Structure 1
Amino acid sequence: MSDISIILDKKLNTSQEEVLETFKEFLEAMIEKDDEKLYEIMDDNYILTHMSGKRQTKEEYITEIMDGTLNYYKSKIIHPRISFIDETHARLIADVELDAKVYGIKGNWTMNSEVFMKKIDDKWFLNQWEN
């Protein structure tokens, strides 16, 4: 059983499904603390903006996942809307529910998320996540 669930309110086309699948793989890697997968799927210029406004680079974010500062247990992607800026840039907007222990605080958070991805050599990479 997957720790990621998706609630869709409309059918996605193949390109949109590819973007959503990449985001799902990213969330799974966060939960599983799979640093190899995180390094693979995140663009080198990745920036995460937490709900608090704190901004982190790819390296900072992966480090805090691996050292136990950030612990993720389950996630739900709610009504994702995926659009394409051009052939190599996509934007995913969704409520993302996370069951997590973050900076010592355990809880369930629902974040109104905006995720930007870019396609390089036919593969999608996470570039930015705004919460």
Structure 2
Amino acid sequence: MRALHEALCEAMVGGDMAELASILTDEFTLTHMTGYVQSQSEWLDAMETGQMQYHRMETVEATISAEGTTPLLTARTLTDATIWGSRATWRLMLRSWFEPHGNGWVITRTVASTW
């Protein structure tokens, strides 16, 4: 799970849409700290068009737990990003849920909040 989280962060910063598509389910949603829920396709489109640019992500702490039988990774990050025209470094807590896919795992949803 930690390796998948790191791959997510690297792909976000690198703008690697193919990598993101490969590690996220088609039904993936990202819930922003504002509460806005964004589909995978809308989020990737926002990155492709430059509405959301991730400049740097540092994972400060990451823990793995379970919610029922579903693995959950909670990561505290320092995220330098430009989101809809506003650039800042946010202290984001990213909670990501996973499901099995082939011989590995994919991310089904991520919820962002501040810490």
**For residues 5 and 107 of structure 2, what CA distance do their matches in structure 1 show?**
7
Q: Which residue of 1 aligns with 2:111?
A: 130
Provide the TM-score with structure 1 as the length reference.
0.80
Provide the TM-score with structure 2 as the length reference.
0.91
**For residues 122 and 57 of structure 1, what CA distance do their matches in structure 2 show?**
25
Larger radius of gyration: 1
Q: Which amino acid aligns with 2:78?
A: E
Sequence identity of aligned pairs in percent?
23
Q: Which residue of 2 aligns with 1:54?
A: 36
**For residues 21 and 93 of structure 2, what CA distance do their matches in structure 1 show?**
24
- Number of corresponding residues: 111
Q: Which residue of 1 aligns with 2:11?
A: 29
1:44-85 CA-to-partner distances (Å, cap 9, x unmatched) read 110100011111000000000111000001111122110244
* Unpaired stretches in structure 2, ≥5 consecutive residues: none
| Residues 61, 77 of structure 2: 8 Å contact kept | no
Superposition RMSD in Å? 1.1
* Structure 1 segment 1-131 matched on structure 2, within 5 A: 19-84=1-66, 85-86=68-69, 89-131=70-112
- Give the 3-state SS of the residue equivalent to 2:76 in structure 1: strand
Q: Which stretches of structure 1, 4 residues or longer, exceed 3 Å deviation after superposition?
A: none
Q: From the two aligned structures, give the one with the greater strand fraction.
A: 2
**For residues 115 and 69 of structure 1, what CA distance do their matches in structure 2 show?**
22
The alpha carbon displacement at 1:112 in A equals 2.1
* Unpaired stretches in structure 1, ≥5 consecutive residues: 1-18
